[in-house]
Amino acid sequence: MKTTLAYFDIFPKIVRAHKKGTIRIEPRGLHAAFEDGVPYELTVVPMNETNLNETERPYRVYELAPKGGSLEFSHEFGDEGRYALRIKPKRELPPSPPRRQRWPAYLVPQTLYVYALEEDLFRLRPYRGDMHVHSFRSDGAESPGVVVSDYRRAGFDFLALTDHEQYDPSLEAIDAFKGVPIDLCLFPGEEVHPPGDSTHYVHFAGAYSINDIFRNEPGRYEREIAETAKAFELPQGINPLKYASCLWVCGEINKAGGLSIMVHPHWIQEDAYHIPEKMCIYMLRNAPFDAFELTSGHSQAENQMQISLWQQLRAEGCVIPVVGSSDSHSTEAPVTWFNVSKMAVLAEDCGKDGIMDAVRNRQVVVMEQYPGEVLPRLYGEYRYTAFALFLLEEYFPLHDELCFEEGRLMKEYVCGDRGAAELLAVLRGRCGALMRKCWDGSKTSQIY
């Protein structure tokens, strides 16, 4: 967490564009309390509108008097974007602080940030999630309850466990916390493996298993895709049965009320990409699925192939909704895939419909981050990406601290400490309170 975020509490952090709002800046500790009786100058810098070549910059400047160590001002923000708030005391300091000391934070210039949003985006909220995760019920390492606890500890708001050819482990993860007060939103899911087809699909949040259809209704899938394939006139190199399989699987996922996702086409398996290139491009251009898994927890080279293809297709006018998921097989060390790839959705709420609508409307920012990297690479619409970068720096570090404590207690509970449920009840709602504070400035004692 950066120093200014640790030292100063500014709320709201997200404001309405072209509306007047009141911003309050409070210290997080006496070391950051603004000095009563000393005037402070606050300059509002619209980062998207500044022209550094202009000699006269029309910045609004306020002279503020601290009250109880805090500053407050009202300002009408302009266009959507990030605004820098430059704060400096209007007093002279000696050339250097006393020996073996440094000037406290309230005596040196500081820059804090807020973000102005147009009304359509202001009404949405960010939720970090993963739609492609495995447990030891297939080829993962940990139990479903431990997996979802570790995801909450890492700052995730929603999750679907999607074991290979199995829907029940996702229900097991949900049932592990039945009646327990947690804020992590858990959804059913599975990774679908159509018989005779190496292409895999993620089924997010549907009401029943697609893999069970293969087991419980033998022959149905083969008959129906054979019949569908007869009607195709496909380009050379495109297997009619394989494409019919794609249509069938995605259609059945949608019938179940779920989101259908094409996953990891450039995963290198036995020295070859998972989906033949011609078939991959044809499927993406015709998009029978709801979303494309742009990045997963695989290597940077594999993800770059998918990103490059997505960018090329966008340039050709083929706009495909995307998600970012980890395909994690372990949440404990040594870890290679967990938390490498994820996404933030901008949705009206963290329920199934809110998340699925956000994906289909491309209100998603995919995040790809390898060990040792300070910030993730972001992929998505420019408007959402710019806002997501602000959130990564100014909102999610505070959010993630709250998630860590909840995830740790979830893990204690699922590993046998039933008393952890009482502590989880105390913690419940803190992320929601933080969100309300950051958006509308309402402060509650639950947050800190």
Q: Which of 17-21, 33-37, 394-398 has the lowest mean pLDDT?
A: 33-37
Q: Are residues 92 and 154 in the same domain?
A: no
| Predicted local distance difference test score (pLDDT) of residue 333 | 77
CA–chain centroid gap for 78, Å, is 27
Q: Are residues 131 and 111 in the same domain?
A: no
Task: Name the strand (E) or helix (H) holding 245.
Answer: helix 240-255
Q: Are residues 132 and 113 in the same domain?
A: no
At 247-298, the pLDDT tens digits run 999 999 999 999 999 999 999 988 889 999 999 999 999 989 999 999 998 8
Phi first, then psi: what are they for 431, rounded to 5°?
A: -65, -40
At 376-388, the pLDDT tens digits run 999 999 999 999 9
**CATH code for position 42:** 2.60.40.1930
294: three-class secondary structure by DSSP? strand
Phi first, then psi: what are they for 314, rounded to 5°?
A: -60, -40
Q: Which tokens sit at 244?
A: 């019919």
**CATH code for position 176:** 3.20.20.140
Would the CA dihedral through 332, 203, 288, 278 be positive or negative? positive
Q: Which tokens sit at 437?
A: 């504070």
In the predicted structure, residue 446 carries a pLDDT above the cut 50: no
Which of 72, 87, 118 is where one domain is finished?
A: 118
Asked if 398 contacts 8 with a C-beta cutoff of 8 angstroms, the reply is: no
Q: Are residues 130 and 112 in the same domain?
A: no
Intra-chain end-to-end CA distance of the chain, in Å: 16
At 116-159, the pLDDT tens digits run 999 999 999 999 999 999 999 999 999 999 999 999 999 999 99
Phi first, then psi: what are they for 225, rounded to 5°?
A: -75, -30
At 392-442, the pLDDT tens digits run 999 999 999 999 999 999 999 999 999 999 999 999 999 999 999 999 887
Is 409 part of any domain? no
Is 92 part of any domain? yes
Which of 92, 118, 144 is where one domain is finished?
A: 118
Q: Are residues 319 and 373 in the same domain?
A: yes
Q: How is residue 70 annotated by DSSP?
A: B
Report the pLDDT averaged over residues 62-84: 95
Is 294 part of any domain? yes
Q: Are residues 231 and 313 in the same domain?
A: yes
What are the DSSP calls for 165-227, one per residue?
A: T-SHHHHHHHHTTTT-----EEE-EEEE--TT----EEEES-SS-SHHHHHHSTTHHHHHHHH
Is 83 part of any domain? yes
Q: Are residues 272 and 338 in the same domain?
A: yes
Is 230 part of any domain? yes
Q: Are residues 40 and 161 in the same domain?
A: no
Average pLDDT for the chain:
93
Provide the number of structural domains found in the chain: 2
Is 216 part of any domain? yes
Q: Are residues 18 and 114 in the same domain?
A: yes
Is 162 part of any domain? yes
Q: What is the pTM of this model?
A: 0.94
Q: What is the domain range of residue 43?
A: 3-118
β partners of residue 16: 117
Which of 403, 418, 437 is where one domain is finished?
A: 403
Q: Are residues 9 and 68 in the same domain?
A: yes
For residue 448, name the pLDDT band (cuts at 50, 70, 90): very low
Picking from 188, 184, 141, the residue whose alpha carbon sits closest to that of residue 160 is 188
Q: Are residues 73 and 18 in the same domain?
A: yes
Is 428 part of any domain? no
Q: Are residues 325 and 373 in the same domain?
A: yes
